[in-house]
Amino acid sequence: MWLKSMVDDVVYVPRAERISIDLEVPARLQGSRVRVLLKDLTCEGAKIDSMAGLRYDDVISLNLPSLKPKDAYVVWVKAGSAGLAFDRPLHPEVFAQLVRKHATVAGHARKPSPRKPAPALHLAA
């Protein structure tokens, strides 16, 4: 992410690591109860799918497992997905616990499983 500083210098601000999660969670939007599919998670926010009608700056309250409802602001919307910024970041230990319990294998930093060697090819001469 690139930001302009107060003296018009361009400064690079690294994004937080995004963890892939496929988790359906209850949420509230403008007083209505809905269910959303949580796709990515960071301490600062999330990406959700399956939510029609969201607009930039809407406030949505997510019911993440084992937590009080977490308010977030919609910061982008594109093709049925939306990016959310939490009003207060998740505590790193809470984030780590959610990752341990709900991260998808592809998005989780696990040791790779040992691979079997590829069979040797023997070409006829």
Helix, strand, or coil here: 105?
helix
Q: Identify whether the C-beta of residue 22 lies closer than 8 Å to the C-beta of residue 39.
A: yes
The reported pLDDT for the residue numbered 107 is: 43
- Output the pLDDT for position 111: 38
Q: Say if residues 61 and 27 touch (Cβ distance below 8 Å).
A: yes
Distance CA 78, CA 98 (A): 25
Which percentage of the chain shows pLDDT scores above 70? 69
What's the pTM value of the predicted model, to 2 decimals?
0.70
Residue-range domain boundaries for the chain: 19-104
**Each residue's pLDDT tens digit, 28-66:** 998 899 999 999 999 999 999 967 788 999 999 999 998
Reduced to 3 states, what is the DSSP secondary structure of residue 92? helix
Kindly report, residue by residue over 81-104, the tens digit of the pLDDT: 999 999 999 999 999 999 888 887
- Residue pair 81/48 in contact by the 8 Å Cβ criterion: yes
Q: Is the pLDDT of residue 114 over 50?
A: no
Pick the CATH number of 19-104 from 2.60.40.10, 2.160.10.10, 2.40.10.220, 2.60.120.650: 2.40.10.220
Evaluate if residue 23 carries a pLDDT over 70: yes
